[in-house]
Structure 1
Amino acid sequence: MGTTIIIFLILGLIVTGILIGPLITKQRRNRIKYRPFPPLWQAIIENKLPIYLKLAPDERRRLQGHIQVFLAEKQFIGCKGLQVTEEMKLTIASVACLLLLNERGEYFSKLRSILIYPSTYVVTETIATGDYVMEERREARLGESWSRDQVVLSWEQVEQDTHNWKDGHNVVLHEFAHQLDQEDGKAEGVPILQRKSDYPIWAQVMTVEYQQLCNDVQQGLTTVMDRYGATKPAEFFAVATETFFEKPHQLRQKHPALYELLQRYYQVDPGQWVEE
């Protein structure tokens, strides 16, 4: 009898945690979001994020709130002796949080830490090159997104990307798009969508656009999106996201269906922020 009561008590606590936990998290985040935004932070973002002042007032207010939650919940770690500054944190957070303006209520749920290297970093990969044959390769990288809990970035590349906003390359947008893609545990170019009915439309548009990019790359044609997007669907989504935010007019002109799809998902129109 005593054991049965204990089991029911434990189950009750688990259910209570499942139901109440998200509510507590939402309340805590709301308190953080509506704190006054520090003037110094405002000045840093105006200086580091070229499109910030082009956002509508409501978009800026929402972005500020998301930045505050992001900074409260994520850990920044300097690598190779790099001292992480407030400017670094705010620059990365402000770009990453552009992807959260659709108000999904999640803050890259699996992400815990952002590792920042001073510049390009080198990793060693073990790759199978044949039956029972493994080969170690050293590869230079500018950023990567881990499906578990980390994003890795080159600060030099982050700075270069924010200074050259309209070139279609942005390591922060790219890697944090991967985080959105990986929230369901799989990296396949399909983030968690709002409705079940959205998935067939997403699959149809993304498949057509991905195949077109692959074909264009094979034929050596000039493309709006970076050729790296033809690597696999997960990379296509990340590259398409970079292009959507940095080259919106070109993407809308050449790939209207893809632009509309991403506009519906991110709930923003970067064409209002970036000059033609």
Structure 2
Amino acid sequence: MPMLIVAGLCLLYLGWLVGKPYYVEYRRAQFRSRPFPPAWLTILRRRVPYYRLLPADLQAQLRGHMQVFIAEKDFIGCAGLEVNDEMRVTIAAQACLLILNRKTGYYPKLERILVYPGAFMVKKQEVDEAGVHSEYHDELAGESWGEGQVILSWEDAVDDARFFGDGRNVVIHEFAHQLDQEKGVATGAPILARAEHYRPWSEALGAEYLALRQQADAELDSLFDYYGAEHPAEFFAVVTEVFFEQPQEMATMHPELYRQLKNFYRVDPLSWR
């Protein structure tokens, strides 16, 4: 009898494993089909100007993705900040911009978004060329961890949404890292649709990354923030910001890079202007 009980429990567990993806997608479809709260729409229109640029079908898709995102992710206030719908909607809209028109798991490794009132301090370590370890504190507007969380400054998140078009957006930056981290360590090469896409991706982004490093060393003007020259993962996040915020400039000055990002994100921000 005990063996029968164990066997039954194992079958139930296997059934749960097989059925879980279907249940998750059913639940997400339910969230997407719900009427979008009017109060959220008011926040979206006021706080996130680019929403008005999107065609109607992408607006509807974005609203549906936001409802899933807000239902599944925990928003946690830090340093005394009390999270409200203004924050959830503003952050979710920018995060979900990156998953339009794409098969998505809604950032499957992400469990929570920690929100600080403003820039926050983090302790960092580095090793110099002589092998000497040192610790220092750095002030950040955002950070993406592979262990299930994104940390954001609310002040920067709302300002970057308001001034859409300047090539800087901390939410887009950190959620680009989340896409990159879906496969494990962020390398600047997120999961692409097909194996044959990796070579042209590597060639285009690798050449542009080296060019930015040279521009940074020589202190030459660049469309991209020099922060992208620190690591290929940072380069991917930086150029993602520019792709969504300054598509005309990127398409004109860096056409192959723009084409690779357009293929990956499956949207063309040039058409939204």
**Aligned-partner Cα distance in 1 for 2:207–2:7:** 52
2:219 is equivalent to residue 220 of structure 1:
yes
Percent identity, aligned pairs only, is 44
1:2 and 1:30, CA in 2 relative to 1: closer, same or farther beyond 3 A? Answer: same
Aligned to 1:104: 103
2:87 is equivalent to residue 88 of structure 1:
yes
**Aligned-partner Cα distance in 2 for 1:210–1:115:** 30
Cα pair 1:180 1:191 within 8 Å, conserved:
yes
Task: Name the SS for the 1:105 alignment partner.
Answer: coil
**Aligned-partner Cα distance in 1 for 2:210–2:201:** 14
Cα pair 1:158 1:172 within 8 Å, conserved:
yes
Q: Which has the larger displacement, 199-208 or 237-246? A: 199-208
**Aligned-partner Cα distance in 2 for 1:143–1:56:** 29
- Report the Cα offset of residue 202 of structure 1: 1.5
- Report the Cα offset of residue 62 of structure 1: 0.3
Give the TM-score, by structure 1 length: 0.93
Counterpart amino acid of 2:29? N
**Aligned-partner Cα distance in 2 for 1:86–1:17:** 33
Cα pair 1:54 1:272 within 8 Å, conserved:
no
- Report the Cα offset of residue 216 of structure 1: 2.0
Query: How does 1:182-193 map onto structure 2 within 5 Å?
Result: 182-193=181-192
- Report the Cα offset of residue 134 of structure 1: 3.9
Counterpart amino acid of 2:262? Q
- Report the Cα offset of residue 69 of structure 1: 0.1
Query: How does 1:121-270 map onto structure 2 within 5 Å?
Result: 121-129=120-128, 134-270=133-269
Counterpart amino acid of 2:68? V
**Aligned-partner Cα distance in 2 for 1:133–1:217:** 25
Q: Which has the larger displacement, 184-193 or 171-180? A: 184-193
Aligned residues: 273
Counterpart amino acid of 1:30? A
Q: Which has the larger displacement, 87-96 or 103-112? A: 103-112
- Report the Cα offset of residue 13 of structure 1: 4.4
Counterpart amino acid of 1:181? D
Question: Which runs of 5 or more residues in structure 1 are unaligned?
Answer: none
Task: Name the SS for the 2:95 alignment partner.
Answer: helix
Task: Name the SS for the 2:151 alignment partner.
Answer: strand
- Report the Cα offset of residue 229 of structure 1: 0.7
- Report the Cα offset of residue 58 of structure 1: 0.4
1:194 and 1:12, CA in 2 relative to 1: closer, same or farther beyond 3 A? Answer: farther
Segments ≥4 residues shifted beyond 2 Å: 5-19, 125-136
Counterpart amino acid of 2:172? L
Task: Name the SS for the 1:123 alignment partner.
Answer: strand
Counterpart amino acid of 1:271? L
Aligned to 2:23: 24
Task: Name the SS for the 1:201 alignment partner.
Answer: helix
**Aligned-partner Cα distance in 1 for 2:213–2:132:** 30
Counterpart amino acid of 2:216? V
Cα pair 1:193 1:265 within 8 Å, conserved:
yes
Counterpart amino acid of 1:39? P
1:208 and 1:14, CA in 2 relative to 1: closer, same or farther beyond 3 A? Answer: farther
**Aligned-partner Cα distance in 2 for 1:204–1:69:** 35
1:225 and 1:128, CA in 2 relative to 1: closer, same or farther beyond 3 A? Answer: closer
- Report the Cα offset of residue 55 of structure 1: 0.6
Counterpart amino acid of 1:106? G
Counterpart amino acid of 1:36? P
- Report the Cα offset of residue 14 of structure 1: 4.9
Task: Name the SS for the 2:182 alignment partner.
Answer: helix
Give the TM-score, by structure 2 length: 0.93
CA deviation map 1:194-234 (0-9, x unaligned): 12222222212111111121122222221111111111100
- Report the Cα offset of residue 241 of structure 1: 0.4
